[in-house]
């Protein structure tokens, strides 16, 4: 058993959209399939979301080197301010990270999204790649919302 602390990564993004719009995108199958865990060269072939506390999600991105399945469970859903879920890639590891999304309304009608990931210590060598991946996901969300 490791005594190392989890690795905490943070990503922030400003949206011109209302908090409700940004929040709902994470739980809407059609929108989530366009930005969440998808790659530029892959094809999202499965996007199942059970948007309730205790509900699970499974998203599979078909890539040139094979399918990559992403799974998790919703731990907290407080529309439109906070979403907390576990996140894992079962083929890579049996462990799960904890992802917290906090959304703050801005005076101009937009919002700021703060994403925090607590990664397992064994993934410390991948911290920069993970931060970059979450940054790309949030940027693709912005593009998906138009």
How many Cβ atoms sit within 10 Å of the Cβ of residue 65?
7
Q: What is the pLDDT of residue 30?
A: 95
Residue 57 C-alpha from the chain's centroid: 11
Kind plus residue range of the DSSP H or E element containing 143: helix 127-145
Would you say residue 2 lies in a domain? no
pLDDT tops 80 at residue 78: yes
Would you say residue 35 lies in a domain? yes
Q: pLDDT digit string (tens) for 24-35?
A: 999 999 999 999
Q: What is the pLDDT confidence band of residue 2, given thresholds at 50, 70 and 90? A: low
Between CA 82 and CA 19 the distance in angstroms is 10
Would you say residue 1 lies in a domain? no
Domains in the chain: how many in total?
A: 1
Name 97's Cβ contacts closer than 8 Å, sequence gap at least 6: 86, 87, 88, 117, 118, 119, 120, 123
Would you say residue 112 lies in a domain? yes
Would you say residue 44 lies in a domain? yes
The domain of 130 spans 7-145
Q: pLDDT digit string (tens) for 105-126?
A: 999 999 999 999 999 998 999 9
């Amino acid at each position: 058993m490791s005594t190392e602390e989890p690795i905490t990564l943070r990503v922030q993004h400003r949206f011109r959209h209302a908090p409700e719009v940004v929040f709902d995108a994470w739980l809407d199958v059609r929108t989530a399939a366009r930005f969440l865990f998808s790659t530029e060269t892959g094809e999202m072939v499965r996007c199942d979301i059970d948007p309730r506390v205790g509900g699970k999600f499974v998203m599979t991105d078909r890539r040139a080197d094979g399918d990559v399945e992403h799974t998790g469970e919703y731990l907290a859903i407080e529309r439109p301010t906070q979403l907390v879920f576990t996140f894992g890639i079962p083929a890579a590891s049996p462990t799960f990270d904890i992802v917290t999304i906090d959304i703050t309304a801005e005076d101009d009608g937009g919002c700021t999204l703060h994403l925090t990931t607590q990664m397992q210590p064994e993934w410390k060598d991948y911290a920069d790649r993970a931060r970059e991946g979450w940054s790309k996901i949030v940027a693709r969300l912005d593009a998906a919302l138009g």
